Amino acid sequence: MRKLFLILVLSIFSTLAVNAQLSTKIGKVSGAYNFWLYEPENVSSSTNSTNSSTDDNSDPNFNPPPTDESGEEYLPIMLESESAEVQIAKELSEKMDKSKKPLVVFLHGRSLCGTDLNRVMKYGTMSAIKRGLELDAYAIAPQNPGGAWNPDKILAIIDWVAERYPIDTNRVYVLGMSLGGYGTIDFTAAYPDRVAAAIAMCGGGSRRDLSGLNQVPLWILHGTADAAVSVNESRKVKNKMEAAGDTPLLRYEEWPGVDHGTYARMFYHPSTYEWLFKHNSQVRVVDESISITREDLKNVYRLTRRK
């Protein structure tokens, strides 16, 4: 009876969510996780070959340039000190299929594990969207029933979504905290060619070989007062990366006196996604222009409002 009630609740919520561009996907990807899917506004969910957004423009071939959170035209990388990379980025932007959108993958922590997809709404990217975060991208939030995140299952979901929606596969981003931080590190290390940029918070790494991380713009953050996952776990990841070679794409930050839960606020700050969207898998340069501090996160919930 309880299971039937849960299915009914999920079904009702899923129906409501579809109208709000949020929907549940249960059993859609064989052998993988159930997940939430967010579809940005003005995008049809048919196939990549037929999907485009006209933005009410009379010309059916008109495709507006993608924009970042500030409304400025998106370029994969804008670093004045890297003129060669900037030029490459501009060329890539000109060739970019404007009808396609980035994809954000949110990996939750251990507290949200289970078989009730509503738990995944307690915090993170989907929760931020529900509160009012404007995200001009697709987003998926798988639910891990328990144990370590499986990179192959995450990839299966990404491929499933990319086959059915207009996803720019050169702009796939992964972020997570705690167990999701481990998942972010493990997935990025396993499939560096599939990730444009990643943010791993208060986590670590489970894989023996983390050398793939050196190929991807990666932002690692950890608090020194974290009692749930020791900062040493992120230090181990950094050490393994350095042992594997140069790490020009790594941003590594330890925040003195910060505990485990603080980083949950990162998912609600627009700059988190702005930093991700600065990157493109065809231009491997890390952006250093955007910063987020502990002070920035203090009132972050005021930046969004509950819908």
pLDDT tens for the chain, 307 residues long, are 444 434 433 443 343 343 348 999 999 999 999 999 999 986 544 334 333 333 333 333 334 434 334 444 334 444 445 555 556 556 556 555 677 999 999 999 999 999 999 999 999 999 999 999 999 999 999 999 999 999 999 999 999 999 999 999 999 999 999 999 999 999 999 999 999 999 999 999 999 999 999 999 999 999 999 999 999 999 999 999 999 999 999 999 999 999 999 999 999 999 999 999 999 999 999 999 999 999 999 888 876 665 4
Looking at the domain assignment, is residue 141 inside a domain?
Answer: yes
154: domain CATH number? 3.40.50.1820
Tokens linked to 41: 């506004």
Tokens linked to 202: 């208060």
Specify the pLDDT at position 122. Answer: 96
Looking at the domain assignment, is residue 284 inside a domain?
Answer: yes
Looking at the domain assignment, is residue 53 inside a domain?
Answer: no
Looking at the domain assignment, is residue 11 inside a domain?
Answer: no
- Residue (of 279, 105, 284, 134) closest to 212 by Cα position: 284
19 three-class SS: helix
* Domains identified in the chain, total number: 1
Task: Report angle CA 70, 72, 77 to the nearest 5 degrees.
Answer: 100
Domain assignment of residue 129, given as a range: 28-41+63-303
Phi, psi of 2 (to 5 degrees): -65, -40
Please, which residues have CB within 8 angstroms of residue 42's CB and are 6 or more apart in sequence? 53, 54, 55
Specify the pLDDT at position 64. Answer: 41
Specify the pLDDT at position 84. Answer: 55
Looking at the domain assignment, is residue 15 inside a domain?
Answer: no
Specify the pLDDT at position 65. Answer: 39
Q: How far is CA 175 from the centre of its chain?
A: 4
Looking at the domain assignment, is residue 49 inside a domain?
Answer: no
pTM of the model: 0.79
Q: Which residues of 165-201 are buried (b: 16+ CB within 10 A; e: fewer)?
A: bbbbebbbbbbbbbbbbbbbbbbbbbbbebbbbbbbb
Specify the pLDDT at position 63. Answer: 41
Question: What secondary structure does DSSP assign to 134-163, as a single string?
Answer: --SSEEEEE---SSS--HHHHHHHHHHHHH
Looking at the domain assignment, is residue 159 inside a domain?
Answer: yes
Looking at the domain assignment, is residue 47 inside a domain?
Answer: no
Q: Which DSSP symbol is given to 5? A: H
